[in-house]
């Protein structure tokens, strides 16, 4: 008989056969779609600002905001993508529909770049005048971008989870394979990104934009075919509802009972004995949420039993799980601003690159391809941490590297350093502009000077991304891992939106006139170095805020751990004091509950 496992179902809804479903072939088919997503989104985002400025003739600040808003929306929609998969469609169909959506967005973008009427005429060289793109032309581009963002949100939220669904954690052999899944997942993400900023952007710049974006569409078409071809071989999990709903249950129930008094004995709080998840003991923090577990007279039925209405009454365990998520929020809030630096390497740093001599022999590096140095920083930073820092700390202190909160702090330090370096480099670039004149198409300044700021941003993100991902996954309840991952990804998206907001504020305060404006239409006449310096200063303040949040979190978790330890010790003492026959009855009862 073929071995069956009940943690997942096949496409017919039956317990899966291990020998015929899941495994590396299925996981690889899923990873192909993720690689296509990175190839497309990075190929679009890293080179969009040059198209917006050079072809659509938009001011640099508006072009930067277009990129930031597009990138931010993709990350924010991860929360929606996770909710749809958990509550309605499941991961397989959410990924499939998202892949088709993303391919459609790339197709619209390709058509928009191919049709002459959907872009303004070239600049008049003699009069040096350019006609800015009209509302329809910009609107079509934005339509394509946000269709791509919708598909990106659905993919990002579910690809890693659906990939791990193909392995059984309880099987040692499959568990070891799943451990390798994440390293290969990260490798293919990086590979897709590098191909996007090199091959994809190369086609856009040296063949045509339309063919470059069309290549993304074709890549997704074939990637989706590969993904769908293994429909009968995947392992699926039933939709069990979104953890977002559980959070809303507790919040609504606590709000309804906000006028009730706290019970003198916490043991009187409701705890669902039929719940199969491990019990979490009550903690004293965030006591306002405890009101969701207070049993009111309206919670009793006519026969005297408790009515289980999750919008009116929640168990202590459910409330404590929500408390665990709430405790993550200060760290979440304090890390949002960090991701404004990610927006800069896709916008203003690319504009800087477009003004410099980027030739290596007879080959000219496209401005958008400078993001490859940023990816290189991520890969080297991650490899240095895994291969150097972790072994050294194991040898000297017996620790497996830095804690996740410490890694986030290191990310802040490198992030501040990257913006300081960017400000210094821009000061040097502007001095060359003043020497030769701002109308020069290519400055007599080699591109090497820009590499450090791209590289340092990559190193900063390698520490920040790894630290955040580790923190949000390991510090959240078991049933809310997908939600906590979405919460982490939302910091990236909100960072993009904050960058866009800052650009708008700076334009309204300093204007866009030559001599006064920081972010003028032509960056050769602006003061971009002030903008970089401002980001570095605000990031320093944010790091101080983060340090206080991290200290608060560590102290809070110590208090919660002490409470859990005291309760567990008390229960063990009570069990030790029981007569032997009562212990036997308790054991038998527990075994029956498990059955």
Assess whether pLDDT exceeds 90 at residue 303.
no
Give the C-alpha separation, 206 to 198, whole Å.
Answer: 11
Assess whether pLDDT exceeds 60 at residue 582.
no
pLDDT tens, position by position, 87-122: 888 889 999 999 999 999 999 999 999 999 999 998
Per DSSP, which regions of 513-565 are E strands? Answer: none
Which of 176, 211, 241 is a domain's end point? Answer: 241
The confidence score (pLDDT) of residue 569 equals: 55
% the chain with pLDDT above 90: 38
Same domain for 237 and 249, yes or no, is no
Same domain for 235 and 307, yes or no, is no
Same domain for 169 and 96, yes or no, is yes
Give the C-alpha separation, 206 to 363, whole Å.
Answer: 11
Q: Which residue, chain included where needed, has tokens 């809070």?
A: 556
Q: Which residue, chain included where needed, has tokens 């930067």?
A: 64
pLDDT tens, position by position, 7-16: 688 888 888 8
Most confident of 321-330, 515-524, 569-578: 321-330
The confidence score (pLDDT) of residue 568 equals: 52
The confidence score (pLDDT) of residue 578 equals: 45
User: Is residue 21 in some structural domain?
Assistant: yes
The confidence score (pLDDT) of residue 506 equals: 93
Assess whether pLDDT exceeds 70 at residue 575.
no
Q: Which residues make Cβ contacts (< 8 Å) with residue 591, sequence separation at least 6?
A: none
The confidence score (pLDDT) of residue 567 equals: 52
Assess whether pLDDT exceeds 90 at residue 280.
no
Residue 250 parent element (H or E)? helix 243-256
User: Is residue 318 in some structural domain?
Assistant: yes
The confidence score (pLDDT) of residue 127 equals: 65
pLDDT band for position 412 (50/70/90)?
Answer: very high
The confidence score (pLDDT) of residue 281 equals: 80
CB atoms within 10 A of CB 217: 19
The confidence score (pLDDT) of residue 553 equals: 92
pLDDT band for position 2 (50/70/90)?
Answer: very low
pLDDT band for position 581 (50/70/90)?
Answer: very low
Same domain for 54 and 138, yes or no, is yes
Which of 282, 298, 327 is a domain's end point? Answer: 327
% the chain with pLDDT above 70: 89
- Mean pLDDT across 190-217: 90
Assess whether pLDDT exceeds 90 at residue 521.
no
Number of domains in the chain: 3
Which residues on neighbouring strands pair with residue 4, listed in sequence order? 17
Same domain for 265 and 407, yes or no, is no
User: Is residue 424 in some structural domain?
Assistant: yes
396 vs 590, higher pLDDT = 396
The confidence score (pLDDT) of residue 278 equals: 59
DSSP code at position 512: S
The confidence score (pLDDT) of residue 502 equals: 94
Same domain for 322 and 346, yes or no, is no
Same domain for 29 and 172, yes or no, is yes
User: Is residue 39 in some structural domain?
Assistant: yes
Assess whether pLDDT exceeds 90 at residue 530.
yes
Question: Which of 25-39, 161-175, 395-409, 441-455 shows the lowest mean pLDDT across its residues?
Answer: 161-175
The confidence score (pLDDT) of residue 458 equals: 93
The confidence score (pLDDT) of residue 5 equals: 54
Same domain for 318 and 460, yes or no, is no
Which of 223, 241, 259 is a domain's end point? Answer: 241
Same domain for 165 and 260, yes or no, is no
User: What's 87's domain CATH number?
Assistant: 1.20.1250.20
301 vs 505, higher pLDDT = 505
Q: In terms of DSSP H, where are the helices of 257-402?
A: 316-334, 340-346, 348-354, 371-384, 390-397
Assess whether pLDDT exceeds 60 at residue 1.
no
Of 311, 26, 345, 282, nearest in space to 163 by CA? 26
DSSP states of 439-465: T-SS-S-BGGGGHHHHHHHHHHHHHHH
Handedness of CA 470, 474, 479, 480 (dihedral sign): negative
Q: Is 129 strand, coil or helix?
A: strand
Same domain for 340 and 322, yes or no, is no
Question: Which of 146-155, 260-269, 310-319, 429-438 shows the lowest mean pLDDT across its residues?
Answer: 260-269
Assess whether pLDDT exceeds 60 at residue 307.
yes
The confidence score (pLDDT) of residue 428 equals: 94
Q: CA angle at residue 344 from 340 to 348, to 5 degrees?
A: 145
Q: Is 16 strand, coil or helix?
A: strand
pTM for the predicted model, two decimal places: 0.84
Of 262, 312, 314, nearest in space to 293 by CA? 314
pLDDT tens, position by position, 214-257: 999 998 888 899 999 999 999 998 777 778 888 999 999 999 98
User: Is residue 582 in some structural domain?
Assistant: no
For the chain, what is the mean pLDDT?
A: 85
563 vs 494, higher pLDDT = 494
Same domain for 246 and 236, yes or no, is no
Same domain for 417 and 443, yes or no, is yes
Assess whether pLDDT exceeds 90 at residue 421.
yes
| Domain around 231 | 1-241
Give the C-alpha separation, 285 to 555, whole Å.
Answer: 12
Give the C-alpha separation, 20 to 240, whole Å.
Answer: 25
Q: Which residues make Cβ contacts (< 8 Å) with residue 294, sequence separation at least 6?
A: 257, 260, 262, 263, 269, 270
């Amino acid at each position: 008989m073929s071995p069956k496992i009940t943690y997942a179902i096949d496409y017919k809804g039956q317990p899966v056969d291990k020998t015929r479903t899941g495994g590396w072939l299925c996981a690889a088919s899923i990873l192909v779609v993720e690689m296509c997503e990175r190839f497309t989104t990075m190929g679009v985002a890293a080179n969009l600002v040059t198209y917006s400025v050079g072809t659509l003739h938009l001011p640099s600040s508006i072009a930067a905001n277009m990129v930031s808003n597009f990138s931010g929306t993709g990350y924010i929609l991860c929360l929606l993508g996770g909710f749809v998969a958990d509550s309605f469609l499941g991961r397989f169909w959410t990924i499939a529909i998202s892949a088709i959506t993303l391919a459609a967005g790339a197709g619209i973008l390709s058509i928009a770049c191919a049709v002459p009427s959907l872009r303004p005429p070239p600049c008049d060289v003699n009069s040096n005048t350019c006609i800015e793109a009209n509302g329809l032309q910009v609107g079509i581009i934005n339509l394509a971008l946000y269709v791509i963002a919708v598909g990106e949100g659905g993919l990002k939220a579910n690809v890693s989870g659906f990939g791990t669904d193909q392995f059984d954690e309880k099987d040692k052999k499959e568990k070891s394979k799943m451990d390798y899944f994440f390293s290969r997942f990260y490798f293919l993400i990086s590979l897709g990104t590098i191909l996007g900023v090199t091959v994809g952007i190369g086609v856009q710049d040296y063949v045509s934009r339309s063919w470059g974006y069309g290549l993304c569409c074709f890549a997704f078409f074939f990637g989706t075919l590969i993904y769908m071809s293994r429909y009968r071989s995947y392992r699926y999990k039933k939709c069990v509802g979104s953890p977002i709903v559980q959070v809303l249950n507790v919040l609504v129930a606590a709000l309804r009972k906000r006028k009730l008094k706290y019970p003198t004995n916490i043991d009187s709080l409701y705890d669902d004995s039929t719940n199969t998840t491990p019990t979490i003991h009550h903690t004293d923090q965030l006591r306002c949420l405890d009101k969701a577990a207070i049993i009111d007279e309206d919670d009793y039925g006519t026969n005297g039993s408790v009515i289980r209405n999750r919008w009116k009454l929640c168990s202590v365990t459910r409330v404590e799980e929500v408390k665990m998520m709430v405790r993550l929020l200060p760290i979440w809030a304090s890390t949002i601003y960090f991701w404004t630096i990610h927006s800069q390497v896709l916008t203003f740093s690319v504009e800087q690159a477009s003004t410099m001599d980027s030739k290596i022999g007879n080959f000219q590096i496209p401005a958008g391809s400078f993001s490859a140095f940023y990816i290189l920083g991520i890969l080297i930073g991650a490899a240095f941490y895994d291969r150097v820092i972790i072994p050294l700390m194991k040898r000297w202190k017996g620790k497996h590297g830095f804690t996740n909160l410490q890694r986030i702090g290191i990310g802040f330090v490198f992030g501040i350093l990257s913006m300081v370096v960017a400000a210094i480099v821009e000061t040097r670039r502007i001095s060359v502009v003043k020497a030769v004149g701002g109308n020069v198409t290519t400055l007599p300044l080699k591109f090497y000077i820009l590499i450090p700021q791209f590289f340092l941003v990559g190193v900063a993100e390698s520490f920040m991304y790894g630290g955040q991902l580790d923190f949000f996954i390991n510090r959240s309840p078991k049933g809310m891992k997908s939600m906590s991952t979405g919460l982490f990804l939302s910091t990236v998206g909100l960072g993009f939106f904050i960058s866009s907001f800052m650009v708008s504020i700076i334009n309204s305060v300093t204007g866009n006139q030559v001599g006064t404006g920081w972010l003028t239409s032509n960056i050769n006449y602006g003061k971009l170095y002030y903008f970089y310096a401002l980001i570095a200063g605000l990031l320093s303040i944010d790091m101080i805020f983060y340090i206080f949040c991290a200290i608060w979190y560590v102290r809070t978790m110590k208090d919660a751990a002490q409470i859990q330890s005291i309760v567990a010790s008390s229960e063990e003492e009570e069990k030790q004091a029981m007569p032997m026959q009562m212990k036997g009855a308790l054991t038998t009862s527990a075994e029956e509950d498990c059955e």
